[in-house]
Amino acid sequence: MSSRFTVTYHVRGTSADIEARARAIAVEQSVEMPLEAIRDETVLSDIVGAVEGIDDLGGGFFAVRIGLATATVGHDSGQFLNMVFGNTSLQDDVVLRDIEVPEALVQTFGGPRHGIAALRSRLNVDSRAMTGSALKPQGLPADDLAALAEKLAAGGLDFIKDDHGLADQTYSPFAKRVRACAAGVARGVRATGHPTRYVPSLTGNLDQLRTQARLARDTGLDCVMLAPMVCGFPAMQAMVHDFPDMAFFAHPSLGGASRIAPELLIGKLFRLIGADAVIFPNFGGRFGYSPETCRDLAHNARGTGMRSALPVPAGGMTLERTREILDFHGKDTMLLIGGNLLMAGDRITENAEQFSRAVADYV
């Protein structure tokens, strides 16, 4: 008997053709060839995708549930993506909507190694929401970013992350930047007594990611950020395995979320491969996600079955919205405010303090 897991696609179609279209997707995402040409009974019974159900969503859209064989995934998170959406991602009538991740794959990929509880413990934060900001703009030399990091840390924030555009550019090489910003944050920590964490952004191939993570570790850091869609799921999976003491923040860059539902990609899959915190563009900012999408994404990140990942609403958030965002997302959340904190150049620390207080005082 073969073990299967259910993948839900939203498909544009008509009542007349949806059954055939569903069967075609089941074939495309498994054996990718005409069934008439398959003579192996085991392949036909255990490997070919099976249509498990079709629901008419109205408006010319259908929810198609397909059972895929767990055996086709192996142990590679890239192959997992390949099996659930590889070729079908090229067909524009289909959105990958959800996956019921089976226990076998939860065991394989492991989910967050730390998650919300461990992040709270590191920061000595019991129950309030957590706070964060970002080092910007890219193009600044390392010392200027470090000065900014110190100002933000002096405001008592929990996390200060690199902007995801910061890589290993000549105007601010990774090693120099990370050492300088870590020192900047450490100066802020000495002023406040609060153990603010600096979260550098890692880029490049697996060799480069490892070199950068080792440098971060040797600098005394215990959090890093990766963009799984840029570095690739397999690289993220390997990093989570190789650096068990690091907490991993996942950045949504290149998430192209209109074709893979962000609730699934960011909330569920980034968590599955080990993200301890997942950054996403919250509603009402510069991005078009709906409140429902953001709620479901955060719900998926915190859900049962593996450690909870910390949802990090971001993308144009403002100080003024602190209460509203916490009302909506609750306290198992990290608020990330970047550009808005940086607007008043001479009062960055005061802005950060105000942000820290607003979150601490929230009831």
CA separation for the pair 164, 175 (Å, rounded):
16
The single residue among 22, 51, 54, 81 that binds its own copies, judged by CB under 8 A, is 81
Footprint (CB under 8 A) of its own copies, residues 323-342: 338-340, 342
CA separation for the pair 49, 63 (Å, rounded):
16
Q: CB nearer to its own copies: give 138 or 354.
A: 138
Footprint (CB under 8 A) of its own copies, residues 36-55: 36-40, 42-43, 46-48
The verdict on 78 binding its own copies (CB under 8 A) reads yes
Q: CB nearer to its own copies: give 137 or 362.
A: 137
Q: Do the strands 61-69 and 50-58 form a parallel or antiparallel pair, or are they unpaired?
A: antiparallel
Q: CB nearer to its own copies: give 42 or 304.
A: 42
The distance of closest approach from Cβ of residue 309 to its own copies in the complex, given in angstroms and rounded to an integer, is 18
Angle at alpha carbon of residue 125, lines to 122 and 131, rounded to 5°: 95
Count residues near its own copies (CB under 8 A): 88
Across the beta sheet with 4-12, the strand order is: 50-58, 61-69, 4-12, 94-99
Q: Which of the ranges 50-58, 115-123, 204-212, 325-333 carries the binding residues for its own copies, by CB under 8 A?
A: 204-212
The verdict on 158 binding its own copies (CB under 8 A) reads no
Q: Which of the ranges 98-106, 117-125, 164-172, 181-189 carries the binding residues for its own copies, by CB under 8 A?
A: 164-172
The verdict on 138 binding its own copies (CB under 8 A) reads yes
Element (H, E) at 213: helix 206-218
Residues 238-277, one symbol each (x = binds its own copies by CB under 8 A, - = not), give: x-------------xxxxxxxxx-x---------------
Q: How far is CA 333 from CA 168, 198, 293, 315, 348, in A?
A: 30, 18, 16, 15, 22
Residues 96-135, one symbol each (x = binds its own copies by CB under 8 A, - = not), give: ----------------------------------------
Q: Are 196 and 158 spatial neighbours (Cβ–Cβ below 8 Å)? A: yes
The single residue among 232, 328, 347, 350 that binds its own copies, judged by CB under 8 A, is 232
The distance of closest approach from Cβ of residue 253 to its own copies in the complex, given in angstroms and rounded to an integer, is 4
Q: Which of the ranges 50-58, 85-93, 184-192, 305-313 carries the binding residues for its own copies, by CB under 8 A?
A: 85-93
Q: Which of the ranges 6-14, 124-132, 181-189, 287-295 carries the binding residues for its own copies, by CB under 8 A?
A: 287-295
The verdict on 180 binding its own copies (CB under 8 A) reads no
SS3 assignment for 33-73: CCHHHCCCHHHHHHHCCEEEEEEEEECCEEEEEEEEEHHHC
Q: Do the strands 247-250 and 61-69 form a parallel or antiparallel pair, or are they unpaired?
A: unpaired
State the Cα torsion 343-349-350-351 to the nearest 10°: 40
For 128, what's the count of Cα atoms within 13 Å in the CB-facing half-sphere? 19
